[in-house]
Structure 1
Amino acid sequence: MPIIPRYIPPDFTTAKLVNAPVAKTAPAPRQGVAPDNFHGTSNHPEYIHLGRGKWLLVSESRMDAVLLLRGETVAVIEARRLQKGDPVVVGRTEDGEEGIYVHSDGFAKTGVAGAEKFSFRTRDTRETPFSRSYDQLYRILRHDRQNGHIVWVLGPAVAFDKDSRSAMQGIIEAGYCHALLAGNALATHDLEAALFRTGLGQDIYTQALMPHGHYNHLEIINRVRSYGSIPAAVAALKLKDGIIWACEKRQVPYVLAGSIRDDGPLPEVITDVCQAQDAMRVQGKKATTVIAVATQLHSIAFGNMVPGYKVLDNGEVRPVFFYVVDMTEFSADKLANRGSVQAVAILTNAQDFMVNLWHNLDDRNA
């Protein structure tokens, strides 16, 4: 089986698509407002009929955006970005009736010959064996290290444990991370571990509570803020390990999106929601593989920003892989229920996942 599945485009010779009308547009009535009957995008490949049998593939389709069509150029933007008069594609059908075709099975898996209509264990649960999912992920990451853009979405649990934190550091240093998305907590507790060897006041190896340890995350935030930036603090405090340290060392971009409950926050945390969306979408447009670990809300947020496919420079279309790692089915189900149906669940704890992954990717173990 190839590492990257082959894309099968729609059959535009079918009568339904041959006879499809040209896609229509309507002007945005004012800034930030879409016209009536606007077409809301999905994360599947979408095509716009320009006329005379010419269908244009939307190259960056993602959920809940709108399409601007100017001549033979189409752009995907959030409705809040619209300017008055922008030509917005309109139409609520997705099967060609209004010149819009959503192709949901371009990467469809072939069925198993002779498969029964009734069978057990058809959805992933905590009882599901994930050996095949791990093996596929190893192959994808080795491919995308040189040929793609791997984005990690991390919750603070990854930094709370010595081994998972070290594993993520190794993954970054080895080139398996091209961008990191997280919140204030992941960066704070990783920097706390680098300076105090604790996470929320607990030793990151023994999990023993340290005297006055509950001050440590506040102390590191205060020190970083006093130096003005994370890079300045890393240098001044002479930190020598960790996730953020590895990102700084490798010049891997990280986007820290703020939330209401944040302490501090750290200087690099983006507290404006729209600005945080914009920064995350920069990485979403580049992403070929996404791995979201132990962070339900951040996973769902980024899942809604990521296309299910990517059009490469040579015109080829490939899937964007999305793995969600959590201890419960709930997070994976929630992501799928929000439209990210391509998400593959691996149900385990963050430490076991990170250590297992790094053990198999580490070239020193080859």
Structure 2
Amino acid sequence: MSRFALPMYRHPDFSVPELRDAPVARFEPCQRDGVAPADYHATAIYPEYVQTARGKWILLRHSRMDCVIRKVNDTLEVVEFRRLKVGDLVAVGRRENGEDGIYVHTTGFASGGGESCETFAFRTSTSRETSFSIDYDTLYDILRHDRENGFILWVGGPAVIFDSDARKAFASLVDKGYVHGLLAGNALATHDLEGALYETALGQGIYSKKQASMGHYHHLDAINAIKGYGSIEQAVHQGGVRDGVMRAVVENKVDYVLAGSIRDDGPLPGVVGDVYAAQDCMRALARKATTVIAMATQLHTIATGNMTPSYQVLEDGSVRPVYFFIVDMSEFAAGKLADRGSLTAHAILTNVQDFIVNLNRALD
């Protein structure tokens, strides 16, 4: 039995003078579709409160960084600029400590322990030499907790399934209930299905690493075969695909989004080719996530990180953190995610294939 417990969230103290005396937030109408009023307030990844009437502070639900706050009757919505219409009321004011009736709460999950900080210390940044033991153990506890009490969202690149053991391990995690949603591109699904049909990925044996005769056709043949079935789901239900990640996803009714790319072959049926439609589908899953694990896919990871706030408001009104892990061999990829605003992401720098195999074993 896991001893893991979610950290307690502390709402701001609205009795302190700077919040008690703060003005009611201002909302101004849009003059053009897709154009926010001057001095619009852009949302962050942290919990944000808006004072809509004196003493009435509302915590934003389903937030997302770099969006705006739209008021619809008595409801506040966090929306992308592209959704704005003429007349929409949008929150204005860029001061974040209550001066404009908006408060960004960055310390809601802080323990208050006040760890000492040395003026000088070695190894304060994350690198491939960093110790990750505690990160693994924390992740195991979080996944065991969220399997029953949350929504675990995975973001994957094709490297996850280029190895036979890693592909089996990820499918096993799906079967064991540790995957509630999957975000990927055409490549992960294509090469997983190629593995099911030909035991190759891009023509190379996923176990033997031997180049198959005419193997460079295999990913195209896989796409063609799945198109012949009509969909990935039909290929699985009709017995054309008997193993792998997509088999597990379909059989366990896991929600997934395959977001298209300008370089896609095919693509597979079900791949969302319109970038904004794909973003909408991805956000629908990201807004439900309580834990995100992003593996070996820099662009999908950054996109998901930008869509995912640091907190989740549950049905009972309680607030919990959203855990975000990036798993990659590249220190640059982890740094890039932090540079793009995902300050709460934890990096585990390792080979993603080893990571997923070890994770699956630890969760047995």
Q: Please confirm whether the aligned pair reaches a TM-score higher than 0.5, indicating the same fold.
A: yes
Alpha-carbon distance in 2 for matches of 1:206, 1:323: 30
Alignment match of 1:42 (pick from 23, 41, 44)? 44
2:125 alignment counterpart: 123
What does residue range 178-193 of structure 1 map to in structure 2 within 5 Å? 178-193=180-195
Alpha-carbon distance in 1 for matches of 2:125, 2:71: 39
Alpha-carbon distance in 1 for matches of 2:198, 2:24: 63
What does residue range 1-366 of structure 1 map to in structure 2 within 5 Å? 2-110=4-112, 113-236=115-238, 238-362=240-364
CA deviation after TM superposition for structure 1 residue 234, in Å: 2.6
SS at match of 2:136: helix
> What does the per-residue CA deviation read over 1:135-161, in whole Å, with 9 as the maximum and x for residues that have no partner?
000000001001000000000001100
Alpha-carbon distance in 1 for matches of 2:74, 2:99: 19
Change (3 A) 1:31 1:199: same
Alpha-carbon distance in 2 for matches of 1:235, 1:53: 56
CA deviation after TM superposition for structure 1 residue 117, in Å: 2.5
> What does the per-residue CA deviation read over 1:268-290, in whole Å, with 9 as the maximum and x for residues that have no partner?
10000110011001101100000
Change (3 A) 1:113 1:33: closer
CA deviation after TM superposition for structure 1 residue 32, in Å: 1.8
Alpha-carbon distance in 2 for matches of 1:199, 1:234: 19
Q: Which amino acid aligns with 1:282?
A: A
The 8 Å contact of residues 16 and 96 in structure 1, kept in 2 or not, is answered as: yes
CA deviation after TM superposition for structure 1 residue 9, in Å: 1.6
SS at match of 1:286: coil
> What does the per-residue CA deviation read over 1:315-344, in whole Å, with 9 as the maximum and x for residues that have no partner?
110000000000021111111111100100
The more displaced of 226-235 and 79-88 is 226-235
The more displaced of 26-35 and 345-354 is 26-35
CA deviation after TM superposition for structure 1 residue 235, in Å: 3.5
Alpha-carbon distance in 1 for matches of 2:144, 2:82: 38
The 8 Å contact of residues 62 and 308 in structure 1, kept in 2 or not, is answered as: no
SS at match of 2:221: helix
The 8 Å contact of residues 258 and 271 in structure 2, kept in 1 or not, is answered as: yes
Q: TM-score when scaled to structure 1?
A: 0.96
Alpha-carbon distance in 1 for matches of 2:212, 2:131: 38
The 8 Å contact of residues 328 and 352 in structure 2, kept in 1 or not, is answered as: yes
Q: Which amino acid aligns with 2:140?
A: Y
Q: TM-score when scaled to structure 2?
A: 0.97
How many residues were matched structurally?
A: 362
CA deviation after TM superposition for structure 1 residue 241, in Å: 0.8
The 8 Å contact of residues 63 and 305 in structure 1, kept in 2 or not, is answered as: yes
Alpha-carbon distance in 1 for matches of 2:134, 2:218: 40
The 8 Å contact of residues 194 and 219 in structure 2, kept in 1 or not, is answered as: yes
SS at match of 1:151: strand
Change (3 A) 1:8 1:185: same
Identity %: 57
The more displaced of 111-120 and 266-275 is 111-120
Alpha-carbon distance in 2 for matches of 1:350, 1:204: 15
SS at match of 2:70: strand
Change (3 A) 1:29 1:113: closer
CA deviation after TM superposition for structure 1 residue 122, in Å: 1.4
The 8 Å contact of residues 149 and 287 in structure 1, kept in 2 or not, is answered as: yes
Unaligned runs of at least 5 residues, structure 1: none
> What does the per-residue CA deviation read over 1:26-53, in whole Å, with 9 as the maximum and x for residues that have no partner?
0111222211111111111000012322
Alpha-carbon distance in 1 for matches of 2:150, 2:23: 36
SS at match of 2:220: helix
The 8 Å contact of residues 126 and 347 in structure 1, kept in 2 or not, is answered as: yes
Alpha-carbon distance in 2 for matches of 1:336, 1:219: 39
Q: Which amino acid aligns with 1:205?
A: Y
SS at match of 2:307: coil
Alpha-carbon distance in 2 for matches of 1:194, 1:97: 58
The more displaced of 129-138 and 64-73 is 64-73
CA deviation after TM superposition for structure 1 residue 266, in Å: 0.4
TM superposition outliers: structure 1 runs of 4+ over 6 Å: none
CA deviation after TM superposition for structure 1 residue 15, in Å: 1.1
Unaligned runs of at least 5 residues, structure 2: none
The 8 Å contact of residues 39 and 90 in structure 1, kept in 2 or not, is answered as: yes
Alpha-carbon distance in 1 for matches of 2:150, 2:67: 24
The 8 Å contact of residues 4 and 142 in structure 2, kept in 1 or not, is answered as: no
> What does the per-residue CA deviation read over 1:51-105, in whole Å, with 9 as the maximum and x for residues that have no partner?
3222111112211111112454211111111121011111111111111111112
